[in-house]
């Protein structure tokens, strides 16, 4: 039986993917974990050919390459469908050091939490290179959600880096195809009174490749998703 699946969505991460996978495997060896690693890749650059080479080196690495669809949310949802583990951690391809948080997340899942959120907005979190515009937007978005959902314990609702109980999250009926999936999981979980806990993490701006989260493109979409969940879920 597989206990944990790490789902990694990737889009054009040829500059990062090798370093990220090396980091993940170094940590899971050190931490004595043996998760299934499942990459859902929509890339049009060399990411997929790099991943195919890495599959020969790393055990338990599976790659689903999509040419017919894009979107980080739909990729993670496919990962949730395909995962063999009872627990899932969604991990970002541009964050090679976040694997160090796997044991803390897994511990909370084993304790029975449905969702383990990560937040870079704890006082002890170290944030390096976070763009000022994104920080302001994140602050506004998080405070708006706190009031709208009357939920004041959590600090970061939008982070995609999180762990959860697969069965419980599947029951939420997820639909988001883009970056709003991070919000959809936690907001629907709040509405269902799921057990949610938040862990502090450090955050560092990506070293290679480009950010795909364009606020100007997604802001309206984010707002509509939040309102829809608040009013109809
Ligand atoms: N499969 C898939 N993965 C994607 C897609 N868009 C982004 N991703 C991945 O989702 C993860 C997060 O994307 P980033 O561009 O780093 O976005 P972010 O971390 O929210 O934003 P930043 O704060 O700018 O880093 C990365 O692993 C990306 O490769 C997509 O369309 N399909
Ligand atoms: Mg990123």
Proximal ligand: closest to the CA of 10: 1
Residue of 15, 141, 212 to mutate, ligand 1, most atoms within 8 A of C-beta: 212
* CATH number of the domain bearing residue 181: 3.90.550.10
Q: In this predicted model, what pLDDT tens digit does every residue of 112-130 receive, in sequence order?
A: 999 999 999 999 999 999 8
Q: Is the pLDDT of residue 21 over 90?
A: yes
pLDDT of 212 strictly over 90: no
CA–CA separation, 69 and 53 (whole Å): 23
Element holding 37 (H helix, E strand): strand 36-41
* pLDDT at residue number 97: 78
At residue 213 the predicted structure's pLDDT band, cuts being 50, 70 and 90, is: confident
- Chain-wide mean pLDDT for the chain? 95
Whose C-alpha lies nearest to ligand 1, atom 31? 71
Q: How many domains does the chain have?
A: 1
Distance 1 CA to ligand 2 centre (A): 31
Q: Which ligand has its closest atom nearest to the C-alpha of 215?
A: 1
Say yes or no to pLDDT of 140 above 80.
Answer: yes
**Ligand 1 probe mutation, 16, 17, 72, 180, most atoms within 8 A of CB:** 72
pLDDT at 104: 97
Q: Residue 39: pLDDT above 80?
A: yes
* pLDDT at residue 215 greater than cutoff 80: no
Average pLDDT of 143-153?
Answer: 96
Residues having CB within 6 Å of any atom of ligand 1: 9-11, 13, 40-42, 70-72, 75, 92-94, 179, 206, 211-213
Ligand 1 center–CA 162 separation, angstroms: 14
Q: How far is the CA of 160 from the centre of ligand 2 (A)?
A: 9
Which residue's alpha carbon is nearest to atom 20 within ligand 1? 213
Buried-state track 192-209, b at ≥16 Cβ within 10 A, e below 16:
eebebbbbbbbbbebeeb
Span from the CA of 72 to the centroid of ligand 1 (angstroms) = 6
Please tell me the residue having the least CA distance from ligand 1 atom 11: 92
Closest listed ligand to the CA of 131:
1
Mutate to test the pocket of ligand 1, among 7, 8, 11, 48 (most ligand atoms within 8 A of CB): 11
* Angle 93-135-217 from CA coordinates, rounded to 5°: 70
Q: Pick from 227, 70, 198, 86: which is nearest to 78 by CA?
A: 70
Domain of 133 in residue numbering reads as 4-232
pTM of the model: 0.96
Q: Report the alpha-carbon distance of residue 231 to residue 205 in Å, rounded.
A: 35
Q: Which atom of ligand 1 is nearest to the CA of 93?
A: 27
Q: Is the pLDDT of residue 219 over 90?
A: no
Within 10 angstroms of residue 67's Cβ, the number of other Cβ atoms is 10
């Amino acid at each position: 039986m597989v206990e944990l699946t790490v789902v990694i969505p990737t889009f054009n991460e040829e500059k990062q993917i090798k370093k990220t996978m090396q980091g993940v495997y170094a940590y899971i060896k050190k931490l004595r974990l043996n998760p299934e690693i499942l990459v859902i890749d929509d890339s049009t650059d060399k990411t997929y050919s790099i991943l195919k080479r890495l599959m020969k080196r790393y055990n338990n690495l599976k790659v689903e390459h999509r040419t017919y669809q894009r979107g980080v949310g739909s990729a993670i949802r496919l990962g949730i469908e395909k995962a063999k583990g009872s627990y899932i951690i969604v991990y970002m391809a541009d964050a090679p050091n976040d694997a160090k948080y796997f044991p803390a997340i897994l511990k909370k899942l084993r304790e029975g939490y449905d969702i383990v959120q990560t937040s870079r907005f704890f006082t002890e979190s170290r944030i390096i290179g976070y763009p000022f515009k994104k920080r302001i937007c994140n602050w506004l978005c998080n405070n708006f959600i706190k009031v709208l959902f009357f939920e004041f314990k959590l600090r970061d609702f939008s982070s995609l880096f999180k762990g959860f109980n697969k069965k419980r999250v599947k029951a939420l009926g997820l639909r988001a195809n883009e970056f709003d999936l991070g919000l959809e999981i936690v907001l629907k979980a709040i509405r269902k009174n799921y057990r949610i806990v938040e862990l502090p993490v450090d955050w560092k701006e990506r070293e290679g490749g480009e950010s795909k989260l364009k606020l100007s493109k997604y802001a309206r979409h984010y707002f509509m998703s939040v309102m829809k969940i608040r009013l109809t879920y």
